[in-house]
């Protein structure tokens, strides 16, 4: 990827490439004097944007997004949907994916099979162990484990407002006394829950982007003998002590380190 683009979040790079594709398509249409329908114009923009994205070296999954963005825009406009619908949809998406732009960690949920596999890594002592889900999403991991092994105490930290609110209500309305979730970032040193020294098991299902930083935090803060589990995403240069391949829809793998 060209050096100036490397410094930008991928979403901004993708948007800039869309603008470049639009400008170039517009120039091409003007110079050639051809008349094109809005959909053909949008398809040309999409093709160019996808090509630019490929050469800019963005992750592969950006290609279909870049290809379909302008045609989808034209198709949606043709449907004459009232603008309020877009505003409401935008606000809901903003509340769910609030921090994704910064963190590059979207919301997607662990499967029931992962929840059950995690049970096997909880200390079986009745001494009140502590577990944290870093980026706890809708709170499914926490509430499942709190039911399955009520001797433990389960914490979550979630930065996106709507998933946080959902999980908070789920915990309160479900009457889970051994569970709590906090709104904030896992990198916030002022948030007491984010100090990993207090946990016996630390679980994270994030994305490849924060794994190196998370590993440094885990190494610095976790106590010897405690367990760090990453679902699916490896830590560069650090082989796990154990892996568990899940037979679920995402083909998740649990990577386990004993600190
Ligand atoms: C892939 S989801 C996993 C949800 C849940 N842990 C599960 O396994 O079902 C990752 C979650 O982490 C949250 N997240 C990402 N970066 C975060 C951060 N820096 N601090 C707190 N939460 C974060 C996202 O909003 C998202 O809800």
Q: What is the pLDDT of residues 52-102, one digit of tens each?
A: 999 998 888 899 999 999 999 998 888 888 888 888 888 888 877 777 766
Highest mean pLDDT among 85-89, 110-114, 125-129: 110-114
Task: Kindly give the number of the ligand 1 atom that is closest to the alpha carbon of 156.
Answer: 6
Ligand 1: which residue has its CA nearest to atom 2?
A: 107
Please report the atom of ligand 1 found closest to the CA of residue 231: 8
pLDDT at 195 over 80: yes
Q: Specify the ligand 1 atom closest to the Cα of 105.
A: 15
Tell me how far apart the alpha carbons of residues 149 and 153 are, in angstroms, rounded to a whole number.
9
The domain 112-258 is classified under which CATH number: 3.40.50.150, 1.10.579.10, 3.40.50.720, 3.40.50.920? 3.40.50.150
Asked whether residue 1 carries a pLDDT value surpassing 80, the answer given is no
User: What is the distance in A from the centroid of ligand 1 to the CA of 99?
Assistant: 9
Model confidence at 11, pLDDT cuts 50, 70, 90, reads: confident
What is the spatial distance between Cα 94 and Cα 108, in angstroms, rounded to a whole number?
A: 15
Q: What is the pTM of this model?
A: 0.77
Q: How far is CA 140 from CA 105, 106, 119, in A?
A: 17, 16, 13
Choice from 116, 134, 137, 212 to test ligand 1 binding pocket (greatest atom count within 8 A of CB): 137
Task: Quote the CA–CA distance of 160 and 103 in Å, as a whole number.
Answer: 11
Q: How is residue 122 annotated by DSSP?
A: S
In sequence order, the β-bridge partners of residue 204 are 134, 230
223, with CB counted inside 10 A (0-12, 13-18, 19+), is exposed
What phi, psi does 131 have (nearest 5°)? -130, 140
Residues near ligand 1 (Cβ within 6 A): 99, 103, 105, 107-110, 133, 135-137, 140-141, 157-160, 163, 185-187, 205-206
41 CA to centre of ligand 1 in angstroms = 38
**Nearest 10 degrees: CA dihedral of 16, 17, 23, 28?**
170
* CA distance to 15, 85, 92, 106, per residue, from 5 (Å): 11, 33, 29, 21
Count CA atoms closer than 13 A to 23's CA, side-chain side. 7
Residue-range domain boundaries for the chain: 3-80, 112-258
Q: Considering only CA atoms, which residue is closest to atom 15 of ligand 1?
A: 105
117: left (phi over 0), alpha (psi -120 to 50) or beta: alpha
Q: How far is the CA of 136 from the centre of ligand 1 (A)?
A: 5
| pLDDT in the model for residue 122 | 93
**Rounded CA separation 202/230 (Å):** 8
């Amino acid at each position: 990827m060209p050096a100036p683009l490397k410094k930008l979040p991928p979403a901004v790079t993708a948007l800039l490439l869309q603008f470049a594709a639009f400008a170039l398509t517009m120039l091409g249409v003007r110079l050639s004097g051809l008349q094109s329908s809005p959909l053909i114009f949008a398809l040309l923009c999409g093709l160019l944007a996808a090509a630019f994205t490929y050469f800019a070296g963005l992750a592969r999954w950006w290609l279909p997004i870049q290809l379909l963005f302008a045609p989808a825009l034209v198709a949606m406009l043709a449907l004459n949907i009232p603008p309020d619908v877009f505003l409401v949809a935008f606000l809901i998406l903003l509340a769910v994916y609030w921090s994704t732009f910064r963190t590059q960690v979207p919301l997607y949920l662990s499967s029931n099979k992962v929840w059950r596999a995690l049970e096997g890594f909880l200390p079986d002592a009745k001494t009140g162990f502590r577990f944290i889900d870093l980026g706890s999403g809708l709170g499914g991991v926490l509430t499942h484990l709190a039911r399955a092994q009520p001797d433990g105490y389960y914490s979550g930290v979630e930065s996106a407002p709507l998933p946080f609110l959902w999980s908070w209500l789920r915990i309160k309305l479900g009457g889970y006394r051994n569970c709590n979730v906090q709104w904030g970032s896992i990198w916030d040193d002022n948030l007491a829950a984010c100090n990993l020294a207090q946990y016996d098991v630390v679980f994270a299902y994030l994305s490849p982007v924060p794994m190196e930083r998370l590993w440094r935090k885990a190494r610095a803060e976790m106590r010897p003998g405690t367990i760090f589990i990453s679902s699916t995403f490896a830590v560069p240069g650090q082989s796990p002590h154990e892996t568990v391949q899940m037979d679920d829809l995402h083909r998740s793998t649990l990577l386990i380190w004993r600190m």
